[in-house]
Amino acid sequence: MKEPHTVRRLGDLARAIAYRQALIRHECWPRARLEELQQRRLADLLNWVTQKSPFYREFCRAHRLGPPYSLPDFPILDKKTYMKHFDEIVTDPRLRLSELQEHTAHVSGDEYYLGKYRVLTTAGSSGQKTVMVFNRKEWSIQEAASMRIAGMMGVVPFSLRRPTIVTIGSPSPLHDSYRLPLSMNVGLYRYYVLPATAPVEELVQQLNSIQPHVLRGFPSMLGLLVTEQLQGRLNINPCIIAGGGEPLTSELRKQLQAAWPKSSVFDIYGTQEGLRAMECNPSQGLHIFEDLGIVEVVDENNRPVPDGTLGHKILFTSLFGFTQPVIRYEISDMVVLASEPCPCGQPFRRILAINGRNDDVLYLKGRAGRQVAVHPVHFWNVLESFADIRQYQVVHEPDGICLRLMLEEGNGHVARNVREQMARKLRALGVERPSIRVELVTALEDRSRHMGKWKNIISNVNQSSQ
Ligand SMILES: [Zn+2]
């Protein structure tokens, strides 16, 4: 006899399959129809929160706002403020942050909280931990979005041969890269989640025995696997390789194609709050699933930036999160949106580039005592121009910049060139006498990993943008 929980999970998945059909239909809509849907869902959301969320009810009362509501009138919330007001923001008064945190300490699988909620957490690079709660319907939409992404890569449910999908990600059910496959594991696909924190040799061994059709992981991890495959220890032939959670550089894309010439490589972008974007074709940018959310790209002062211009952050509004509303929520990724529609004909706007996170910007001492904000892209540009660099970390220390480089064997001579080029770049940006040290390492394992995720830029210096 099946457990009632299994039956409910099946129900969630059945609903997800229906939602997926609807999502796919939106992909053929004209832009105007998509915007109409967004406005309708936004109106529902804002009406709902002004009734059910004490935080928004009070905000509207204090600011004398009434229907019809308009998104720009709503407050922008950063992670810290959001978590501070968590108990008032949620629309089910039974959800209390302290009790949810207590629950997350004991989650071991796909458990519901209060019989209907799934709870995720994130530990952002800022160190601010957040909690996300989804009711069963909202979770089905998460599942549908995940199936849509799989479908865009050519993996569809109910295909004749059940595809084997391996995600190398966070080994925690509190993270969606593990929890989503877990909740959907009813036999449509063969799912495996391997921990990104495991030693590479162990992952190689497991991958050789599983032989995935689809391989998903953080780009930094995929980069390590390229070496393993090229050196013959790893021997797999995935048809689809998908990177996410970190920028997938064009250099890594080339390396992946060289190691697996027959595979298709995709870049996926997602946040636990429900913002998702995905490439239709390589190098066409990532379609934002705007039927599920509204994205505002803004500068430091929250003014919208035009498409084609680099923003300082994203303000994200989830159009399906009614339990824990996410409205104009700050995401620190710096992105450029395309100003033209995609040639593929989908109505969604595209992220052309993700230039790191604004908390990855390092502030270095410049000439005449001013601070110079050095964007991560400057480090990437220099470091990725060296084919011999396999992996790197940029560490900002009180006495300067330390570049920790993992090189191809026997290429120690590049260190000096790297240092010189980096110094030239920093000087050109206005940094005064940049102090750069290169440390050659054989592994960057287990340093500054967040839920198995790599961090390329680390600051050990108290810094501010003031
Ligand atoms: Zn497209």
Alpha helices, DSSP H, located in 386-443: 414-428
Cα-to-centroid distance, 261 and ligand 1 (Å): 23
Cα-to-centroid distance, 284 and ligand 1 (Å): 6
Give the pLDDT score at 449: 46
Label residues 20-30 b or e (16+ Cβ within 10 Å = b).
Answer: beebeebbebe
**What's the Cα-to-Cα distance from 415 to each of 402, 405, 422, rounded to whole Å?**
12, 8, 11
Cα-to-centroid distance, 286 and ligand 1 (Å): 8
Give the pLDDT score at 200: 80
Label residues 228-262 b or e (16+ Cβ within 10 Å = b).
Answer: bbeeeebebebbbbbbbbbbbbebbbebbbebbee
Cα-to-centroid distance, 36 and ligand 1 (Å): 20
Helix axes 136-152, 176-183, angle to 10 degrees: 100
Cα-to-centroid distance, 321 and ligand 1 (Å): 26
Give the pLDDT score at 412: 63
Cα-to-centroid distance, 235 and ligand 1 (Å): 32
DSSP for residue 262: T
Cα-to-centroid distance, 143 and ligand 1 (Å): 22
Cα-to-centroid distance, 124 and ligand 1 (Å): 29
Q: Which residues lie at CB < 5 A from ion ligand 1?
A: 280, 342, 344, 346
Give the pLDDT score at 386: 78
Cα-to-centroid distance, 63 and ligand 1 (Å): 41
Taking the C-alpha atoms of residue 335 and residue 314, their distance in angstroms, rounded to an integer, is 8
Per-residue model confidence as pLDDT tens digits over 83-113: 999 999 999 999 999 999 889 888 988 999 9
Cβ proximity of 246 and 221 under 8 Å: no
Cβ proximity of 457 and 394 under 8 Å: yes
Cα-to-centroid distance, 59 and ligand 1 (Å): 39
Cα-to-centroid distance, 279 and ligand 1 (Å): 7
Give the pLDDT score at 157: 65
Cα-to-centroid distance, 242 and ligand 1 (Å): 17
Q: Which helix (H) or strand (E) holds 207?
A: helix 200-210
Label residue 366 exposed, middle or buried (CB < 10 Å: 0-12, 13-18, 19+).
middle
Cβ proximity of 432 and 366 under 8 Å: yes
Q: Per-domain residue ranges for the chain?
A: 361-459
Per the rule left: phi > 0, alpha: psi between -120 and 50, beta: everything else, 274 is left
Give the pLDDT score at 451: 44
Cα-to-centroid distance, 28 and ligand 1 (Å): 11
Cα-to-centroid distance, 344 and ligand 1 (Å): 4
Label residue 158 exposed, middle or buried (CB < 10 Å: 0-12, 13-18, 19+).
exposed
Cα-to-centroid distance, 455 and ligand 1 (Å): 29
Cα-to-centroid distance, 325 and ligand 1 (Å): 29
User: Domain 361-459, CATH 3.30.300.30 — does that match?
Assistant: yes
CA dihedral 88, 94, 95, 100 (to 10 degrees): 140
Cα-to-centroid distance, 419 and ligand 1 (Å): 39
Cα-to-centroid distance, 1 and ligand 1 (Å): 45
Cα-to-centroid distance, 173 and ligand 1 (Å): 32
Nearest CA among 325, 330, 296, 274 for reference residue 55: 325
State both tokens at 267. Answer: 């870049």
Cα-to-centroid distance, 221 and ligand 1 (Å): 26
Cα-to-centroid distance, 445 and ligand 1 (Å): 36
Per-residue model confidence as pLDDT tens digits over 345-380: 999 999 988 876 666 778 888 887 777 878 776 787
Cβ proximity of 310 and 131 under 8 Å: no
State both tokens at 162. Answer: 């059940």
Taking the C-alpha atoms of residue 281 and residue 290, their distance in angstroms, rounded to an integer, is 18
Nearest CA among 334, 325, 374 for reference residue 357: 334
**Spans in the chain with pLDDT lower than 70:** 1-4, 123-128, 157-160, 356-359, 377, 409-412, 444-455, 462-466
Cα-to-centroid distance, 342 and ligand 1 (Å): 5
Cα-to-centroid distance, 372 and ligand 1 (Å): 37
Cα-to-centroid distance, 413 and ligand 1 (Å): 42
List, as one string, the DSSP characters of 328-380.
SEEE-EEEEE-SS--TT--SS-EEEEEEEEGGG-EEEEBGGG-EEEE-HHHHH
Taking the C-alpha atoms of residue 132 and residue 113, their distance in angstroms, rounded to an integer, is 12
